[in-house]
A and B are shown apart, each in its own frame.
Chain A
Amino acid sequence: MTQHTFKSARKRYQRVFWPLMGVYVVAVLGGSYYLSTLEVEPTWLKTVIAIAVTLPIVAALFAMLRYFDETDEYSRLFQLRSFATGAVITISAIFAVGFLQIFEVIGSVDVFWFGPLFFVCYGLAHRLTGGRDC
């Protein structure tokens, strides 16, 4: 197995992550624009675009997993704690919103927003606990 240092792991992660985010933005904007130009939006095309937009996010998540494997032990602990904090808050929100819907307290909520919620919580947990360099 290749021995990675903290710096090489971070470089490898950033070399993959930022281009993927670029692809994501282009896919979201391009896909939305293309659909808006059509008079009739075929379901198959909307499905293809939805999956195409999702793929960079999935790839970025796998890049994060690889970074957790390759970075140094303290940074790994730090990242995993922040990741877990984001997951705990997001899963709690999913259950709370889910039960509020089941008990008919609130109407429908777009499931999509739980994804950004997770990333915001993960990022905030990372920043607030001082993980600037990890």
Chain B
Amino acid sequence: MENSIRVLRAERGWSQATLADHLGVSRQSVNAIETGKYDPSLPLAFAIARIFEKSIEDIFSDQTLTKAAE
């Protein structure tokens, strides 16, 4: 699953550690989500969306579903 967390984080000038502190997770978790190695649970995805004041769909996109819809 792709996401725009790295971009949103950069816009705010936050490091991975800063975002991790906001979310209450490890810096490695943020890195794994950003690089697509790990897909967050629904509660964590909601927490990420809340912090960036966006909807989940604005941040996460499933390329497989998008391609299937096209």
In the assembled complex, the CB of A18 is this many whole angstroms from the nearest CB of chain B, namely 19
Judge whether B25 is part of the interface by a CB distance below 8 angstroms: yes
**Which of A3, A72, A130, A131 is B25 in contact with, Cβ under 8 Å?**
A72
In the assembled complex, the CB of B10 is this many whole angstroms from the nearest CB of chain A, namely 21
Instruction: State whether B28 touches A134 (Cβ < 8 A).
Output: yes
Determine the interface band of chain A, counting residues with CB < 8 A from chain B: 10 to 19
Chain A residue with the shortest CB-CB distance to B30: A74
Which residues on the B side are within 8 Å of A74 (C-beta)? 25-26, 28-29, 32-33, 38, 40
Judge whether A77 is part of the interface by a CB distance below 8 angstroms: yes
Bound Cα distance A134, B24 (Å): 13
Determine the interface band of chain B, counting residues with CB < 8 A from chain A: 10 to 19
Bound Cα distance A73, B24 (Å): 11
Judge whether B19 is part of the interface by a CB distance below 8 angstroms: no
**Which of B21, B27, B28, B40 is A131 in contact with, Cβ under 8 Å?**
B28
Bound Cα distance A14, B29 (Å): 20
Judge whether B44 is part of the interface by a CB distance below 8 angstroms: yes
- Could you list 30 examples of A-B contacts with CB < 8 Å? A3-B24, A4-B24, A5-B24, A6-B20, A6-B24, A6-B25, A6-B26, A6-B29, A72-B23, A72-B25, A72-B29, A73-B25, A73-B29, A73-B41, A73-B44, A74-B25, A74-B26, A74-B28, A74-B32, A74-B33, A74-B38, A74-B40, A75-B26, A75-B28, A78-B28, A130-B28, A131-B28, A133-B26, A133-B27, A133-B28
